[in-house]
Amino acid sequence: MAKASGTGAPPAVVEALLGKVPLTSEGFVDLATVDYQATAAAFTASGLSSLSLVARLQKDLATAISEGQSLGSFKAQVSTKLKEALSDNRLELIYRINVHQAYMAGRWEGINESKDDYPYLQYDALDDGRSRPAHQALDGVVYPVDSPFWSGHYPPNGFRCRCNVRQVSRESLDRKGLKVSQAKPKNQPAPDPGWNGNQAKDQVAYLSGLEAKKLGSVSAGFARRYILGKNRRDPSFQHFTLGKGLPHEIRPIGVIDSAVAAELGSETQVVYLKAEVAAKQWRNHPEIGPDAYLGPLGKTLKTSPDLIVNAEEGKQYFYRVRGDKKKLWKAVVRKDQGRLLLVSYHKVNLRDLSAAVKKTLRKGE
C-alpha cells in the first residue's frame, strides 16, 4: 500500500483526503447521529480531542500521499504534538487506513470518467492467505461500474481491508472469458459491519449536495470548515473573487456569528456571495484579493463585531483588525429571500468613519 518515496499520488487522490472536513471524535459521533452519510465527508482520528491536531494530521497525511512518502517518512515528519498524542502503532494504522481510503476515493472519480471505455469493475482481494473469507469470496467478481453492487461493496470493506478493483473493457471481458455477475448485491457476501457503503461515492454525493440543501442544517463549525477548505482548493474560486464568475453565480463564503444571524432574523449562519457583488468589490477595492475571502473573512464573521450600524443596504459589522487599533474590517450582511448575503467587505480607516461611529467605538474601548 505504501508508495515508494517520490512517486507522488494523482491530484484526485490528495483531493479526496483534503476534501473531507476535520472533526474531533466527539464531533464525528454527533454528526453521525444527525446524518450518518455525512461521516463519509468527515476526517477524524480517535485519540485526538484537539481539532487543530486533527486538521494537522489530515494535512500531514495529504503531504505524505502527494509526495509518495513511505510509512517511515510519514512517521518521521509528523509534529511532536501528534507523536505525543498517538502511539507509533496508532500512527501506522491511521496511515494505512487513510492512504487506502484516499486512493480508492481518488480512483472512483477516474473510474466514472472512463466508464465508457472501461464499463466494468472486477473485485480484487489479495490472495495471500490473510484476506477475510467474505472478502476472498468476492475475488474476481465482475459488475458494471453503475451496478448497485459497488454502492455497498466498493473497497475498503472493513477495518484494515486491502482489497482493490480492476477496470475492465468489453474487449478484456471477452478475451479473458470473464462473466458479468447476475447475482443481486444482497446475495453476495456482506462487507464488515459499518463498512457496507461506498465511501468514495458517498463523499462526493454528500459534498456535492451539501451547498444546495444542507449547509444550513449542519453545525456551524462543520459548514465553516467545509466552505474554507473548498474555497482554498477550488482554482475557480480565485476567478470568482476577481469578478470573473458566471452570471447569477452564488457561492457560500463564510459562517457568521450566531448572535448576528439571530439579529438578522436568519435561521442559518451561512453567508453567500453573488458574482456581481464580487465583481463590484474587486473594482472598488482591488486591494482585497482572493486571500481576504479565506482565512481573514472566516475569522471575522465567526466573531462578535466591535460595532453594528444599521444601513439601508443591510447591517454593517465593523471588526477590529488584530494588532491594529486604527483599522477595521467592514462587513455588510443583509438577509434576502431567506439567505444571508455579503454585500461588502473591505478594510476601513477610523478617520474615514463618521463622528457618531467613532464615538460608539471609543465607548467600547
Q: How confident is the model at residue 365 (pLDDT cuts 50, 70, 90)?
A: very low
Contact present, 334 and 266 (Cβ < 8 Å): no
pTM of model > 0.75:
no
pLDDT tens readout for residues 31-73: 777 666 677 778 888 888 888 899 889 889 988 888 888 888 8
- Kindly state the average pLDDT of the residues 149-174: 90
Contact present, 306 and 323 (Cβ < 8 Å): no
State the pLDDT at residue 2.
36
- Which sequence spans correspond to the domains of the chain? 1-111, 114-205, 215-364
Contact present, 178 and 142 (Cβ < 8 Å): yes
- For cell 472486477, what's the residue? 122
State the pLDDT at residue 140.
94
Angle between helices 25-34 and 220-233 (to 10 degrees): 100
Q: How confident is the model at residue 311 (pLDDT cuts 50, 70, 90)?
A: low
Amino acid in position 360: T
Lowest mean pLDDT among 54-68, 199-213, 284-298: 199-213
What's the CA angle centered on 36, arms 115 and 167, to 5 degrees?
A: 15
Which of 269, 273, 356 shows the shortest CA–CA distance to 307? 356
Amino acid in position 126: L
State the pLDDT at residue 168.
95
Note the maximum CA span of the chain: 84
Contact present, 288 and 310 (Cβ < 8 Å): no
pLDDT tens readout for residues 227-279: 888 788 776 788 888 888 776 778 888 888 888 888 888 888 888 888 889 99
φ/ψ of residue 24, rounded to 5: -70, 170
Q: How confident is the model at residue 364 (pLDDT cuts 50, 70, 90)?
A: very low
What's the CA angle centered on 101, arms 71 and 157, to 5 degrees?
A: 120
Sign, Cα dihedral of 66, 71, 75, 76: negative
Contact present, 246 and 286 (Cβ < 8 Å): no
Amino acid in position 223: A
Dihedral class, residue 145 (left if φ above 0, else alpha if ψ from -120 to 50, else beta): alpha
DSSP state of 185: G
DSSP one-letter string for 178-195? -----S-GGGSPPPSTT-
